Homo-oligomer: A and B are copies of this chain.
Amino acid sequence: MPELLDLHGRTNKAIRAALDAALQRHGLRLGQDHLLAALWERDGRTPGEVAAVARVSTPAVTKLAARMADAGLLTRRRDDRDNRLVRLWLTDAGRALRGPVEAERRRIEERITADLTPAEREILLTALAKVHRSAADLPGGDPIGEPS
């Protein structure tokens, strides 16, 4: 069992679980913070735009947005000028989550890198960037990025 593959997978699983638990304390689930982040950056984006910046498929955004609209975090409204577009607008509740959620993410980032020396932290980031590039270049490595 290849080392990096296994270690990286287990690490990601632990991170995801911890992050999910943290988000859940604010009534959110795992991918929803990325969707919100896209709207915090610019409100009124379309599902397609959100999907692009969140690096997720458009159907994923559709479903997320539906659940989050039910939860009262955002509203969906058709664009007046182009009627096939849908625009996602934050509610006050959705806007109010920005501070707490960003703090939560920072907190986890800190805890996770707490035991690393400055040198380790730096090399970890550069090495991970290389690995990411290599993986994305593999066949099927970036389905949404470059499918053709």
A142 part of interface (Cβ distance < 8 Å): yes
Q: Which of B125, B141, B142 contacts A7 (CB 8 A)?
A: B125
- Residue from the list B21, B119, B121, B138 in contact with A139, Cβ < 8 A: B21
Q: How far is the CB of A71 from chain B (nearest CB, A)?
A: 20
Q: Which of A4-45 contact B (CB under 8 A)?
A: 4-5, 7-22, 37
Q: Which of B9, B15, B105, B138 contacts A135 (CB 8 A)?
A: B15
Interface of A is mostly: helix
Interface residues on A, range: 35 or more
Say which one of A61-69, A76-84, A91-99, A106-114 lies at the interface with B: A106-114
Binding site for B on A (CB under 8 A): 1-5, 7-22, 37, 55, 105-106, 108-109, 111-116, 119-121, 123-136, 138-143
Beyond known contacts A2-B106, A5-B19, A14-B136: 14 more, CB 8 A cutoff: A4-B124, A7-B125, A7-B132, A8-B11, A9-B12, A17-B141, A18-B141, A21-B139, A21-B141, A112-B135, A115-B131, A116-B130, A123-B127, A124-B127
Can you list 24 A-B pairs with a CB-CB distance of less than 8 A? Answer: A2-B105, A4-B109, A4-B121, A4-B124, A5-B105, A7-B125, A7-B129, A7-B132, A8-B11, A8-B12, A9-B15, A10-B55, A11-B135, A12-B12, A14-B138, A17-B141, A17-B143, A18-B139, A21-B141, A111-B138, A112-B134, A115-B133, A123-B127, A124-B124
